[in-house]
Amino acid sequence: MRAFDFAVARTVPEALARGGAGTAYLAGGTTLVDLMKLEVLTPRHVVDINHLPLRGVHADRDGLHVGALERMSDVADHPLVAHPYPVISQALRASASPQLRNMASIGGNLLQRTRCGYYRDTATACNRRTPGSGCAAIGGENRGHAILGTSDACVAAHPSDLAVALVALDASVLLTGRAGTRELRLADLYRLPGETPHLEHDLRPGELIARVTVPPLDWARRSAYLKVRDRTSYEFALASAAVAVSLRGGLVRDVRVAVGGVGTRPWRLPAVEEALRGRAPRPEVVEAAAERAVAGARPLAHNAFKLTLLRRTITRALLSLTE
Ligand code: SF4
């Protein structure tokens, strides 16, 4: 690990004053410390933000608000989350391990780095880690990589389960920086890799996620997160689906579908949603709608199985709510 200096911030202005290029904020540390040990990330300054007043879970007429420093396990079990928004709770419980969920923060989860093995191996080419060096995954081992939103520079899948659930629910993040605060749809925070995969999101230098807000959606009680992976614990998704359905008179009044494990960012599927609205959610209707999920997909040498897996994951998740 490279040498760095360390400070503890007690207030948001103090943290922001220390933030900027060369500085990393430390919350749970479950991604940052790993990557510093591997010398994938080499910040010169680390600022501990765990004492900032960015905690709390509450609900009001604007929706559900979750402080960015809340721990994943606490949010998963919170009654304001678990009952009104099961998709969030299930996505959190499907993430990592109990020990990691006790440590990891909500903000940190949303900003976690890709699990592409080449990104973490400094002996290999990786445009995301070292811009312009190439992408070892495209001609290498790419079974777990993305099929949606990829570019010739990077094909890494976005790793967060929580982000998939939040994108399905149209969540936003409150960002705070030296220039003030701003609210951004979570879906707009993440960039496609394009030619610049090292630029993963639209946070400005030194900006922090302060809070996550989920707009009111009473029918989110009928929601679910289905994650398919190689083992049932402590594993990242090969494909996942966050779904919510509102039914009226046996027909789909409204629906949300977002998927993970297959996209370079959390992937909302408006075409699938459109194919379901106003229809009776019979298996053949749901299967036909799920076909739309893979339009434009670009499978790699080892992950074409995700085309079928993704369709089946969406179908199963939706039918679990409607049958
Ligand atoms: Fe790096 Fe992206 Fe290629 Fe993985 S897929 S090696 S993260 S550039």
Average pLDDT (85-90) is 98
Q: Domain tally for the chain?
A: 2
Q: Which of 16, 33, 52 is the last residue of a domain?
A: 52
Å from CA of 135 to ligand 1 middle: 5
180: left (phi over 0), alpha (psi -120 to 50) or beta: left
- The pLDDT, as a whole number, for residue 89 is 98
- The pLDDT, as a whole number, for residue 100 is 96
The percent of residues in the chain predicted with pLDDT above 70, rounded, is 100
- The pLDDT, as a whole number, for residue 206 is 95
The residue nearest atom 2 of ligand 1, judged by CA position, is 154
Q: For residue range 270-291, list pLDDT tens digits in order.
A: 999 999 999 999 999 999 999 9
- The pLDDT, as a whole number, for residue 323 is 84
Å from CA of 55 to ligand 1 middle: 33
Q: Which among 112, 126, 148, 150 is the best mutation to test ligand 1's pocket, defined by most ligand atoms within 8 Å of the CB?
A: 126
- The pLDDT, as a whole number, for residue 139 is 97
Q: Which among 122, 128, 141 is the best mutation to test ligand 1's pocket, defined by most ligand atoms within 8 Å of the CB?
A: 128
Let me know if residue 72 belongs to a domain. no
Q: Which of 13, 30, 52 is the last residue of a domain?
A: 52
Q: For residue range 175-185, list pLDDT tens digits in order.
A: 999 999 999 99
Å from CA of 144 to ligand 1 middle: 12
Let me know if residue 315 belongs to a domain. yes
106-122 burial, b at 16+ Cβ within 10 Å, e below that, comes to bbbbbbbbbbbbbbbee
Q: Which of 52, 67, 88 is the last residue of a domain?
A: 52
Q: 1: which residues sit within 8 A by CB, 6+ positions away?
A: 36, 37, 39
- The pLDDT, as a whole number, for residue 233 is 87
- The pLDDT, as a whole number, for residue 24 is 97
Q: For residue range 208-257, list pLDDT tens digits in order.
A: 999 999 999 999 999 999 999 999 888 999 999 999 999 999 999 999 99
Atom number in ligand 1 closest to CA 125: 6
Instruction: Supply the CATH number for residue 24's domain.
Output: 3.30.43.10
Å from CA of 279 to ligand 1 middle: 40
Angle between the 86-93 and 161-168 helix axes, to the nearest 10 degrees?
170
Within 10 A of 48 (CB to CB), how many other CB atoms are there? 16
Atom number in ligand 1 closest to CA 116: 4
Atom number in ligand 1 closest to CA 155: 5
Atom number in ligand 1 closest to CA 153: 8
Let me know if residue 200 belongs to a domain. no
- The pLDDT, as a whole number, for residue 97 is 95
Q: What pTM did the predictor assign?
A: 0.98
- The pLDDT, as a whole number, for residue 321 is 97
- The pLDDT, as a whole number, for residue 240 is 98
Atom number in ligand 1 closest to CA 193: 2
Q: Kindly report the average pLDDT of the chain as a whole number.
A: 97
Average pLDDT (53-57) is 98
Residue 64 bridge partners (DSSP)? 59, 214
Let me know if residue 15 belongs to a domain. yes
Average pLDDT (145-154) is 98
The residue nearest atom 1 of ligand 1, judged by CA position, is 126
Instruction: Supply the CATH number for residue 286's domain.
Output: 3.30.390.50
Let me know if residue 250 belongs to a domain. yes
Range of the domain at 35: 1-52
Let me know if residue 150 belongs to a domain. no
Radius of gyration of the chain (CA): 19
Let me know if residue 296 belongs to a domain. yes
Let me know if residue 289 belongs to a domain. yes
The residue nearest atom 7 of ligand 1, judged by CA position, is 119
300 lines ligand 1 (CB under 6 A): no
